[in-house]
Chain A
Amino acid sequence: MNGKVIYLDNAASVPTRQEAIDAMLSVLEHCYGNPSGAHKMAREARRLIDNARDTLSFGLGCDPKEVIFTGGGTEADNLAIFGVHGSRNGTVVASMTEHHAVLAPVEQLGGKFVRVHPDGSLDLDHLAEVVDENVSLVSIGLVNGETGVIQDLKKVAEIVRSQAPDALLHTDAVQAFPWLDVASLAQPADLISIAGHKFGSPKGVGVLVIREGIDISPVQLGGGQELGKRSGTQNTAAIVAMAAAAAVTTAEREETVERISVLRDFLADKLQEIPESYETGVAIHGGKVDRSNKIAGSCHFCFEGIESEALLFMLEQENILASAASSCTSGAQDPSHVLAAMGYSRKLAGGSLRLSLGHLTTNQDVNTAIEMVPKFIESLRKTGS
């Protein structure tokens, strides 16, 4: 990348933490032995992975043996859903606003979907209708990737436990980890997915927490690594990097949330002033916008009369990098299933903008966005494109 960029796409991936880079390079250089091996370099690799497991178990509020390393968030979600279904059959259930890594497996298994309210919060009455004793797994993400809306897993768990005592609760906490104390908020879940690159490790590494005593059938068979639940030689360097990133993220979290939520509110309040703008996932109380149900880094709007792609293009010309809905494999912007589920028209959803802040976001970044976004929206509305 040339020049300085204003990076407001932290929900897609955050800047790699220096701690992660250092840890990773050291492993790549000095500890390339196969962690399943017997000699001393192999044992050293294994020790590093065990340490990483300890670190992550702390951040996730679980026992180290409950931490299963995977090749990322999608793999963790797939392992949770196919793994539970493989060992228990039954019906799988997810919310309509889950990431595709959850939606696609649930669809393939002929599962059921739970509605959300217009503010993105789960429709708990509908959940209670959908969940019965035939259900084997309920998957509800802790934080939505597009809107930043937080779900109350405690309430979800209460319904699941009473309607389907044998069912398991999975949460995709991929978007939550940088901002929330996952250890406590995901406590009610039996299975938890996270992805390293959302908090500063390289891509392609993640964790599925599988609480002790839960039997899942592995999706990937082979050498029996990761307690037989995920075969394949562990990616030592990435796992160690993820642990380093998790440690620093957890340590700094409170301070980051405090600083960034002020910046985010400042940004979102300014964008509220744009005519015909709709901030998602918020409540209005007495004329004041309540963003308490969103993570601190999330600023997500729909603007009438514009198309996201055009706005993003213009922002990029000013070195502001952001996104709209989830990107498809070709790099185009696909219509958002999340906004559709929240009741936004396809047209209005086509004018969405996600500015996601991160631990490196500065006042200057936000000020530039405040200067550019309203200007570009006005210009696009004038040209009618």
Chain B
Amino acid sequence: MSSKGKILVAMSGGVDSSVAAVLLQREGYEVTGVTLKLWGGPSDTGCCSVSDVTDARRVADHLGIEHHVFNFGDEFESHVVVPYVRSHASGLTPNPCIECNRYLKFDKLIRRANALGFDLIATGHHARIIECANGVRIGRGADSSKDQSYVLYMLNQQQLQQLKLPLGEMEKTEVREIAALMDLRVADKPDSQDVCFISNAKGSRRRFLEQRIDLTPAKVLDKDSRPVGEVDSLEMVTIGQRKGLGLSGQGAPKYAVDIDVEHATVTVGQRSELFCMATKVKDLCWVGEPYLVNVDVQTSAHGQTAPASVSSTVDWVEPHVKVAPGQSLVFYDGDLVVGSAIAT
């Protein structure tokens, strides 16, 4: 079988990217694996720890493909970690996976791959690349419970032309079956966590932020601006949060409905006060022509969608839970990603 071309597969050491490598090899590509070292020294945890690199290397060896490690630590720090911390410091809710995809996996890595003579790159994301009349688009993966199109909305035409997502048509169970059939050591490895540079242990996020910024104590106010409690770090509070506001036992559950960084206050209210009819946005962008009709809007990586019309604001058809400033809103037409914006 003649080679279909040289492809560089980003292998995190997890089951998805391992199976992606298997599938591309079967299709007849000349596959090289690469693990990105993004974070951490001796105490690293998450998707680029030494043990994950070892898993990726052992899988590559099992498949008989070359494996390399690229250290993108400096770029990860400047494009992902620093903005993450800065977002928290300004009372925003960041999504570091999106920034990592934007600057590392689909910019830096593609440029590196091109320089090294690769035609294409691939990842193990559950999403589809769909040919449309006016170009290629990102669409939802076949396994809706694992769909990752939300974190890939930023991919442009040029990037999509050079990208393969071999798992797009697959259910996660099929992925694990293939891994088991191929006797891959990662067949039963648990799915990765959300923020790869912060461990899942209780209090880790706080400890991480504490090392980089001064956490600000804040007053908790009711909607009439009367103090009802205190939190020791404003930066840890997210819109919609109920726990950790120091209000347990004070009647009906209260939710964080507003965060004022300047005055160091968190306003709480009833669940009903969490809802809004419109969300202010910035960085609004459409893949093709703007949609004048309603689109389905998703506001978090694994959230439900809700219909809305999009102009300079996102106007919800039904009342919608407030979107934490800093979160991405991704617009869908059916399974197709058609646009995006950032909540302000």
Instruction: Report A's interface with B, CB cutoff 8 A.
Output: 307, 309-310, 313-314, 317, 328-335, 346, 350, 379-380, 383-385
Contacts and interface: CB of A to CB of B under 8 A. Distances in A.
B151 to A, nearest CB: 24
Nearest to A350: B74
25 contacts: A307-B112, A309-B70, A310-B112, A310-B116, A313-B68, A313-B116, A314-B116, A317-B117, A330-B48, A330-B50, A330-B69, A331-B68, A331-B69, A332-B53, A332-B69, A332-B70, A332-B71, A334-B71, A335-B74, A350-B74, A380-B115, A383-B114, A384-B115, A385-B111, A385-B114
Given A329-B50, A385-B112, 12 more contacts: A307-B112, A309-B70, A309-B71, A309-B112, A310-B112, A314-B116, A330-B37, A330-B50, A334-B71, A379-B115, A384-B111, A385-B114
Contacts of A307: 112
B35 interface: yes
Contacts of A334: 71, 73
Given A332-B70, A333-B71, A346-B74, A310 B53 contact: no
A330 B35 contact: yes
A174 B26 CA distance: 46
Interface in B65-98: 68-71, 73-74
Given A314-B116, A334-B71, A383 B111 contact: yes
Contacts of B116: 310, 313-314, 385
Contacts of B37: 328, 330, 332
B74 A331 contact: no
Counting contact residues on chain B (CB < 8 A from A), the size range is 10 to 19
A328 B41 CA distance: 9
A329 to B, nearest CB: 5
B66 to A, nearest CB: 9
A383 B113 CA distance: 11
A181 B111 CA distance: 47
A178 to B, nearest CB: 28
Contacts of A333: 71
Contacts of B112: 307, 309-310, 385
Contacts of B48: 330
Contacts of A380: 115
A78 to B, nearest CB: 15
Nearest to B40: A330
Contacts of B50: 329-330
Contacts of B114: 383, 385
Interface string B10-48: 000000000000000000000000010100000000001
Closest 3 CB pairs of A and B: A385-B115, A332-B71, A332-B37
A314 B112 CA distance: 11
A335 to B, nearest CB: 7
A315 B111 CA distance: 18
B53 to A, nearest CB: 4
Interface string B132-169: 00000000000000000000000000000000000000
A310 B112 CA distance: 7
Nearest to A309: B70
B52 to A, nearest CB: 9
Contacts of A332: 37, 53, 69-71, 73
A344 B115 CA distance: 25
A384 B114 CA distance: 10
Contact of A383 (B53, B68, B69, B115): B115
A176 to B, nearest CB: 28
Contacts of A310: 112, 115-116
A307 B73 CA distance: 13
Contacts of A384: 111, 115
Contacts of B53: 330-332
A314 B68 CA distance: 12
A249 B162 CA distance: 51
B258 to A, nearest CB: 41
A328 B54 CA distance: 13
B313 to A, nearest CB: 38
B82 to A, nearest CB: 15
A316 to B, nearest CB: 9
Nearest to B35: A330
Nearest to B110: A385
B208 to A, nearest CB: 21
A92 B174 CA distance: 57
Contacts of B71: 309, 328, 332-334
Nearest to B51: A330
A384 B68 CA distance: 20
A314 B37 CA distance: 19
A96 to B, nearest CB: 18
Contacts of A331: 53, 57, 68-69
B59 to A, nearest CB: 15
Nearest to A333: B71
Nearest to A308: B71
Contacts of A329: 50
A310 B73 CA distance: 15
Contacts of B115: 310, 379-380, 383-385
A332 B68 CA distance: 8
Chain B CB count within 10 A is highest, among A313, A317, A379, for: A313
A331 B112 CA distance: 17
Interface string B236-271: 000000000000000000000000000000000000
Contacts of A317: 117
A158 to B, nearest CB: 37
A310 B48 CA distance: 19
A309 B74 CA distance: 13
A380 B115 CA distance: 6
Contacts of A383: 111, 114-115
Chain B CB count within 10 A is highest, among A310, A333, A385, for: A385
Contacts of A335: 73-74
Nearest to A313: B116
Contacts of B68: 313, 331
B49 to A, nearest CB: 8
Interface in B101-120: 111-112, 114-117
